[in-house]
Structure 1
Amino acid sequence: MSRENKILLGSLACGAVLVPGVLVLALRWPLWAWSLLSAGLLVGVGAYARQLLLLHRQRQLREALEVQQQRTAAPVEPEPEPARQQLVRNVSLPSSEPDYQFVFGATAWWRRPADAVGVGHENPAGLALDTLLSRAREITSVEHPGAADVVAHKLAGALGAVRRDPHGHVETWASEVVLVLSEQDTDRLHRLAEVRKDEQLWHRERDHERSKRAYLSEEVLRDTGSAVVWWLSRNEHDVERAAELIGTLAQLSAAANGTEIAEQFRHLVPSSRQAPFAGGLPFSQESLSFSGTLDSGQFFSYGQLAAAPGGLPEGAEHTAIDHVRGLIDELSTEGAGADRAQLATRLAALFDAAEQREFAEAIRTRFGTADAALPPQPRRSST
C-alpha cells in the first residue's frame, strides 16, 4: 500500500471518531448515539482500506506477471561448441635476422563461435592453424633470434588469448607454446658475439695505442726540451740523471720526428751514434748527404752534387771521400786492410745502385779496390 493511501485511511479513521462526537455534543444526543455512529463509520473505513489493499496486491501481481513474460520472451544464448585441438610441431617462423628462423611448437585449440551465423568453414582446423601461425609470425618477425627464450614467453602470453579469424568462422588459441633456435644457429650467434667482442676490444686497444703514439710523438718527443721535461716529471728527484740523458733524449726526439739532432745537443751524443748520412741509410739518392769532415756539420745533398755542372764541383769529391774514410775508420778494425777494402767495395756498390757511378769509382780509386770483385749480396726483401 502506498504512503498516500495510508495517510488517507488515517484521516478517515480520525474523522469517523471526531465527527460523531461533535454532533453528539452539539445536538446533545446521548452517549450511546456517539458510539453507534463512530462504530458504523469505522466499519466503512475498514471496508475501504480492505479494498485498497486488494487493489495494491492485484497491481503487484500484474507487474510480476509482466516481468516474467519479458524474461520468457528474451532469446536464450546458445552454448558454444566443444573446443578441438591439434598438435603443431617444428614450424619455422621468421626472426628479425633474414638467415635465422625460430622453430615453433604448440597445442592449437579452436571452436565455432556460439553466435556464428551462416554456413561454417569447410576446413575449420586449417583456418584455425593459419590464424594462429599468422599471429605468431607477427610477433617473431621483429624479434632477435638470440632472445628465443624471452620471445617464447611473450608468444605464449599472446597466443593464450582467444581470438577469432578475420571472418568470424572460428575462435583460436594455443597452449604449451615452445619456441627454440636450432643448435647450428645458436652456435653461430655465440661465435658472432665473440667475434664482435674481440673486434671491439681490438679497436679499443688500437685506439689506445694510437693515443699513446700521438702522445709520445706530439708531446713527449716533440723536441728535446719536451722529452727532458717528460723524464723529469717521472723522476723529479733525479736531476743529475736527467742531465746525463739529454743526449739520449735528443737522439730519441730526432728519431721520432725524422729529423737530425739539434746543433746545440750534438756534442752530447757520441760520434759513433751519429750516422754519417742525414737520412740514416744511403738508399735514396735525395737522402744521401755528406759532410766535409766527420766533425764539420756542413752537409751536402748528393743529388745536388750530381746535378752540378760538370759533375762533382771542385772540392766536393774530396769532402765526400773524407766522410767515407771516416765511416770506414769507425766500422773497420785497425790494421785490417782486407776488411777496409771489402767495406769500401760494398759502399761503392751502394753508390753504383744510386746511379752515382763517378763517386763510386772515386771510392774504389781512393781505397785501391778498383779491381776487387764484390762478393754476392743477399737479395733484400721488398717488405
Structure 2
Amino acid sequence: MSRDNKILLAALACGAVLVPAVVALALRWPWWAWLLGSAALVAGVAAYARRLVRLHQQEELREALVVQQQRPAVPAEPEPEPPQQRLLRDVPLPSSEPDYRFVFGATVWWRRPADAVGVAHENPAGLAVDTLLTRAKEIAAAEHPGGAEVVAHKLAGALGAVQRDPHGHVETWAAEVTLTLPEQDADRLHRLAEVRKDEQLWHRERDHERSKRAYLGDEVLQDTGSAVVWWLARNENDVERAAELIGTLAQLSAAANGTEIDERFRHLVPSARQAPFRNGLPLQGDALSFSGTLDSGFFTYGQLSAGELPADAEHTAIDHVHGLIDELSSADEEAADRDRLAGRLAALFDAAGQADFAAAIRRRFADPADGANGADGADGAVPAQPRRSST
C-alpha cells in the first residue's frame, strides 16, 4: 500500500468519527444516534481499506510475474552417465613390513562426471583403477600384515566413498573389497609372534633367576650370620633347629662366596662335609676312603670316614689317583696320554683350591728325564692354575 493511500484512509477514519459528532451537536441528536452514525462510517472506511490492500497485492503479483518472464531460463543439469565396473583380483599391496604383501581384490565402479569439461580420457577404466589402487596402497602401506582382517574393513570404508582423479576425468569407488595375507606369510608371522613371546618369557625368567641369585649371594649367604638370620626369619619359632644348622649354613655361605669355612664355625661342620685336602695334605683326624669318578669331565670326591691316617697319607692319596688313571687308561695307551689325563686331574684339583696336591700329582706323573717340562705343561699336561682368592 502506498503512502498516499495510507494518508487517505487516516483522514476518512477521522472524518467518520468527527462528522457525526458535529451533526449530532448541531441538530441535538441523542448520543446513541451519534454512535450509530460513527460506526456506519467507520465500517465503510474499513471496507474501502480492504479493497485498497487487495488491489496492492494484485499489483505486486503482476510485477513479479513480469520480472520472472523477463529472466533468462536456467539450463537443466545434464544427467550423469551410468556407472561401469571392472573386477580386480589378486593385486599385491605393500604393508608396513617390507617382505610381506597383502592380496587385494575389489569391484571398481567408475563413470564420467556430469560436470566434466574438456576432452574425455582415452582410457577411463584404467584411470579409475589407478586412482583407486593409489589410495588403497597409501592405506595398506601403514598397516601391519598381521591385522589383514581389520585392514580389509578399513579399506572398504575408505574406498566406498566416491572420489575423482586429480584431473576430474572420472569418478570412482569400490565395492566387495577383500584383503588377505598369503597362508605361508601368516604362518611365519604366527611363529615369529610365538618366538617373541617365548623370548620375553625367557628374559623375565632369567631376570627373576638373577634376582634370586643376587638376593641369595649378596644378602642371604653373604656370611654365616646373614644366613642364620635369614633362616630364623623364615622359621622364627624354631630357634633350636637354627642352632643345629649353623654349621650347614656356614658351609653354604663359604661355598657361595668361594672361600674357606670361617674358623669360628668350622667345628660345627660335620667332618664328612669338609674338604678332603688342605694345602695338598689330608685333614688330620680323618681317614680317606677314595672312590672318585669322572662324570661329564668333572672329578667327584668320595666319602670321608673317621679314623687314623697312616703316616704316608699323602702318598696313599697319590696312589689312589695312580690307580684311578690305571683304571681309566688301557695298557696299550701311550705314556703321553696317561700324562695328559693326569694333567687334567691336577687342573681340576688346582681349580678346587688344592694347589699343593695338584703339584704332587704333576710331580708323580712327570717324565723324570724332562721333569721341568712336565711341570710346565709339556707333553699334553695341563699347567697349574692360579689358586682362587678367598675374597
Would you say same fold, with TM above 0.5?
yes
Q: Which residue of 2 aligns with 1:191?
A: 191
1:294 to 283, 306, 310: 283
Matched residue type, 2:208: H
Structure 1: tracts of 5 or more residues without a match = 27-42, 279-288, 297-321, 333-337, 365-378
Query: How far apart in 1 are the matches of 2:227 and 2:92?
Result: 66
Q: Which residue of 2 aligns with 1:66?
A: 67
Deviation for aligned residue 1:271: 3.5
Q: Which residue of 1 aligns with 2:375?
A: none
Distance 1:68 1:162, change over 3 A: farther
Structure 2: tracts of 5 or more residues without a match = 27-43, 286-308, 328-337, 348-354, 366-380, 383-391
Q: Contact between 2:346 and 2:359, CA under 8 Å: does it hold in 1?
A: no
Q: Contact between 1:344 and 1:363, CA under 8 Å: does it hold in 2?
A: no
Q: Which residue of 1 aligns with 2:241?
A: 241
Query: How far apart in 1 are the matches of 2:106 and 2:51?
Result: 73
Deviation for aligned residue 1:359: 5.3
Query: How far apart in 1 are the matches of 2:245 and 2:212?
Result: 22
Moved more, 260-269 or 57-66: 57-66
Distance 1:49 1:122, change over 3 A: same
Query: How far apart in 2 are the matches of 1:341 and 1:82?
Result: 104
1:107 matched to 2:107? The reply is: yes
Query: How far apart in 1 are the matches of 2:236 and 2:54?
Result: 119
Distance 1:69 1:174, change over 3 A: farther
Distance 1:344 1:110, change over 3 A: closer
Query: How far apart in 2 are the matches of 1:81 and 1:207?
Result: 69
Matched residue type, 1:58: E
Q: Give aligned pairs, total.
A: 310
- 3-state SS in 2 of match to 1:263: coil
- TM-score relative to the length of structure 1: 0.67
Deviations 1:176-221 (A, max 9, x none): 1111111111111111111111111111111111111111111111
Distance 1:118 1:222, change over 3 A: same
State how 1:77-116 maps to structure 2 within 5 Å: 77-116=77-116
Query: How far apart in 1 are the matches of 2:107 and 2:191?
Result: 33
- 3-state SS in 1 of match to 2:167: coil
Q: Which residue of 1 aligns with 2:171?
A: 171
Identity of matched residues, %: 66
Q: Contact between 1:79 and 1:114, CA under 8 Å: does it hold in 2?
A: yes
State how 1:1-383 maps to structure 2 within 5 Å: 1=1, 5=5, 8-9=8-9, 11-12=11-12, 15=15, 57-70=58-71, 72-277=72-277, 289-290=279-280, 294-295=283-284, 325-326=312-313, 342=323, 350=342
Deviation for aligned residue 1:17: 9.4
Q: Contact between 1:145 and 1:181, CA under 8 Å: does it hold in 2?
A: yes
Q: Contact between 1:276 and 1:290, CA under 8 Å: does it hold in 2?
A: no
Deviations 1:106-144 (A, max 9, x none): 111111111111101000000000000001111110001
Query: How far apart in 2 are the matches of 1:25 and 1:326?
Result: 168
Deviation for aligned residue 1:146: 0.8
Distance 1:151 1:48, change over 3 A: closer
Matched residue type, 1:134: T
